[in-house]
Structure 1
Amino acid sequence: MFKKLMLTGCTLLLLTACGTDTTEENVSTTNQPSSMSEANTTSNTNNESNAVKDSSNAGTPNTSTTVDITNPTVSMSEAVNVFKEAHPDAKIESVDLDTDFGRLHYDIDGFDSSKEYETEIDATTKEIKENEVETERDTDESLDFSAIIDPDKAIEIASTKTEVEGLSPTGWSLEADDGKQTYTIEYEKNDSDIEIKINATTKEILEVEIDD
């Protein structure tokens, strides 16, 4: 009888131990996170982050856009008027349209009976950026704006030359020199600078100069 009780007690202990192990195993299985679920969550987070970056980049403007000198906000005649307001008695010897670090501006040189003037005017705002005055004067020739063609016409004429086919001008200048009023339209091709000189009154192409 005692032996039967001992066997019965051992059996109960074994069953209890097995039940405890099974319960702990089930609890362990329930609490253990799924590595597949973690991987999917990480992947989705990365995809969302990349999508945000792509969206942000899509809205970023291209800062390397080339400045268009063929259609400035401020025309040559408007820039000339700004110069004349600053120097009412001055005559104008030359006008340049050029860019510095993407900023389009006019450089106007003029003179009166006793001084010479060099004035830089913003081609977008009409603001005078620089205004230099020299007390010594050696210039006698001045531009007659009533007799010359507009810059866009000079650019149109220059663009007919095969040397600049497909190119956009990078700048231009207009000056009175040696009895002539002359436009110089500037281009860049590879490592070469190309200048086309045009008579501003007769529209004649005077010279095509290539500087390698």
Structure 2
Amino acid sequence: MKNKGLLLAITSVALLLFAGCSDNTAQLESGNQQEESSQSMSQEKSSAQSSSHTTASTKNSSDTANKQISLQEAIAVYRKEKPNTDITGIEINSRMNQLIYEIEGMDANKEYKYYISETGEVQTKDEKTLDEDDRGEDERNKEKLSFENLLPLDKINAIAKKEVDGNIVEWSLERELSKTLWEVKVEKNGKQTDISIDAQSGNVLEIDEDD
């Protein structure tokens, strides 16, 4: 009977030890799974952030590379270079599939011409001394463009296309007498048409079709 009781006691202790080991193993496996899951989620999050950062960087780089400045921004580039001058003429045309802003200005003694790319880079610039008859504040006031209440270029384009529904290839902003006007060149069916538009009112002043 003693031996039988001792055997039962040893068996009970062994079962308790086995049960304790099983619980610890399960917890360890559970802990490993949670850690692996956490690491996996962390890696996925890190990967997603990295991917997002790469995409954002690529997009920003692409946006910078493809950025095309507006007329107002081109004017700002010129004015930063020559703040004490008046703008007397602007021409916009396409060269090798890129827009070029040609901006002319003057002060009391010199006239200036800046060529600005569609990305805002000053490509070339030129200046020369005015003739004696063209110097002075009075002459400068006669030549300078008025930017007050200037219509947006997209509205000028719409007005021109209403007259001739073709491809606009060139724009010139100039002054005639007391008016600031746009000369818009439109191509259609192999012909070019020049349309003069009041830059402030939008009134069509003249239409000249090339023969």
TM-score (norm: length of structure 2) = 0.61
Kindly report structure 1 stretches of 4+ aligned residues shifted beyond 4 Å.
none
How many angstroms apart in 2 are the aligned matches of 1:160 and 1:191? 18
Paired position in structure 1 for 2:90:
95
Provide the secondary structure at the position in 1 that maps to 2:159.
Answer: helix
Q: State yes or no: 1:136 paired with 2:141.
A: no
1:147 equivalent in structure 2: 149
Deviations 1:124-148 (A, max 9, x none): x100011000111535321121221
**TM-fit CA distance, 1:158:** 1.2
1:122-201 counterparts in 2 under 5 A? 122-123=117-118, 125-136=119-130, 138=134, 140=140, 141-161=143-163, 164-165=164-165, 167-201=166-200
Q: CA RMSD in A?
A: 1.5
- Deviation of the 1:177 alpha carbon: 2.3
Shift of residue 82 of structure 1? 0.4
The worse-fitting range, judged by mean Cα deviation, of 183-192 and 133-142 is 133-142
CA distance in 1: counterparts of 2:171 and 2:149, whole angstroms: 18
Gaps of 5+ in 2: 1-66
Q: CA deviation at 1:202?
A: 1.5
Post-superposition offset of 1:179: 1.3
Deviation string, structure 1 residues 156-177 (Cα, Å, up to 9, x no partner): 111111xx22x12112111122
Q: Which residues of 2 match residues 50-69 of structure 1 at below 5 A?
A: none
Higher Rg: 1
Unaligned runs of 5+ in 1: 1-71
2:70 and 2:144 mapped to 1: Cα distance?
A: 19
Scaled by the length of structure 1, the TM-score of the pair is 0.61
Quote the Cα distance in structure 1 between the aligned partners of 2:208 and 2:197.
12
- Deviation for aligned residue 1:182: 0.4
Q: Secondary structure at the match of 1:159?
A: helix
Q: How much does 1:204 deviate?
A: 0.5
1:190 positional shift: 3.0
- Name the SS of the counterpart of 2:168 in structure 1: coil
Instruction: Answer with 99-108 or 135-144: which moved more.
Output: 135-144
